[in-house]
A = this chain, B = another copy of it.
Amino acid sequence: MSEIKVVRNILQTNDEITSKNKKILDEKGIYVINLMSSPGSGKTSLLERIIAKLKNDINIAVIEGDIYTTKDAQRIEAQGVPVIQINTGGACHLDAEMIKGALNSLTLDNIDLLVIENVGNLVCPAEFEIGEDIKISVLSTTEGNDKPLKYPLMFEKSGAIILNKLDLIEFTDFDKKEFYKDIKSLNANVDLFETSCVKNQGIDEICSWLMSKIKNKKMKIK
């Protein structure tokens, strides 16, 4: 089918711009997260919790990717950190060119952590590098434990996977044992976290882990 060839062409150009984005971000020593999941897994809620916990210790900026609306950006802005909204106007993922534009609008000096919240989509965002240090994917318990094998690319490419909405697991048939078995088969060395934003559970662990990643990046740059 013709699509396959087409995607390859886009990816080639995307990789070139990714390298440029990466160079800018590396020079500033900014640790960059590409945060991905299905719509409604809780990316923005997790981000609110993480920012609230870390904003007094480090400087955080956020790029919000949405097809339309600025709903998520408004929630992040309320946390008092700089946020840039990208509206893709239909496109199902962020690409490096969009991030390049957003980086031009951000004051990058003194930023320690840049979180790029991708468009809610368990498929396409994983195909596009955008200049990140790590991809983090979120799955909520209400989505079902069968999703990693059904949508493997995102889970394979992630450096960390967060199982969110732990407070709802008792009302679902989510099988954690199966979930972790499947994750292991796809991506044996990934870092794993379990969270509930409602109960503020697991946020401290993510924040400690993030702080060590940020510190590491700064050490490498110096």
Contact = CB atoms under 8 A, between A and B. Distances in A.
Contacts of A205: none
Contact of A150 (B66, B123, B167, B168): B66
Interface stretch (A2-10, A20-28, A77-85, A107-115): A2-10
B152 A68 contact: yes
Nearest to A92: B123
Contacts of A69: 146, 149-150
Interface in A115-147: 119-124, 140, 142-144, 146-147
Contacts of A121: 92, 121-124
Contacts of A119: 123
Given A91-B3, A171-B171, A151 B97 contact: no
Contacts of A95: 1, 3
Interface residues of A, number: 43
Given A119-B123, A168-B142, A149 B71 contact: yes
A4 B89 CA distance: 10
A150 B71 contact: yes
B67 A151 contact: yes
Contacts of A165: 142
Contacts of A59: none
B120 A150 contact: yes
A4 to B, nearest CB: 8
B10 A68 contact: no
B147 A40 contact: yes
A6 B168 CA distance: 41
A118 to B, nearest CB: 11
A124 B92 contact: yes
A-B interface, 8 closest residue pairs, ranked by CB to CB distance from nearest: A40-B143, A92-B123, A142-B142, A40-B144, A38-B38, A39-B122, A6-B6, A92-B124
Given A40-B140, A40-B147, A71-B149, 16 more contacts: A1-B95, A3-B91, A4-B91, A39-B122, A39-B150, A67-B151, A71-B146, A92-B123, A119-B123, A120-B147, A120-B150, A120-B151, A123-B124, A140-B142, A142-B165, A171-B171
